[in-house]
Amino acid sequence: MSAGLLNILIEQGATFNRTMTIYSTGTTPLNLTGKTLRGYIKRSLADALPVGTFVFTVADQNTNPGVVTWNLSATNTALLPAQTLRYDVELVDGTTVTRILEGEAFVSGEVTR
């Protein structure tokens, strides 16, 4: 499975909060029980350290299979440089890591501080 491509807008100084559903095949949501997600934002692919780290919250998989919320606090987005960055999101299941999403993160500069 190849990663989906999604360019996102992050507003500097505002909370970034998105909900997504991960599917195993077609329209069947993937049960995320026992799995974790991780995602970083970097200035470039060559950077050793990220400038931001997403926080993921997996929904109750009995009532909302495949649903996960990803966010960055307003404090964390305020620390991001106002420029185009790169990000990806990976699903970790034991020793298997699958990149599920990637793209550019456009960070718009905050005027009101």
Entry pTM: 0.91
Burial track 67-95 (b if 16+ CB lie within 10 A, e otherwise): bbebbbeeebbeebeeeebbbbbbbeeee
For each of the chain's 113 residues, which pLDDT tens digit applies?
Answer: 689 999 999 999 999 999 999 999 889 999 999 999 999 999 998 999 999 999 999 999 999 999 999 999 999 999 999 999 999 999 999 999 999 999 999 999 999 87
H-type helices in the chain, by residue range? 74-78
3-state helix, strand, coil in the chain (%, to 5): 5, 50, 45
Q: What fold is seen in the domain 4-108? A: Immunoglobulin-like (2.60.40)
| 84/43 Cα distance (integer angstroms) | 8
Cβ–Cβ under 8 Å, residues 68 and 39: no
The structural domains of the chain, with segments of one domain joined by +, span 4-108
Q: How far apart are the first and last CA of the chain?
A: 42
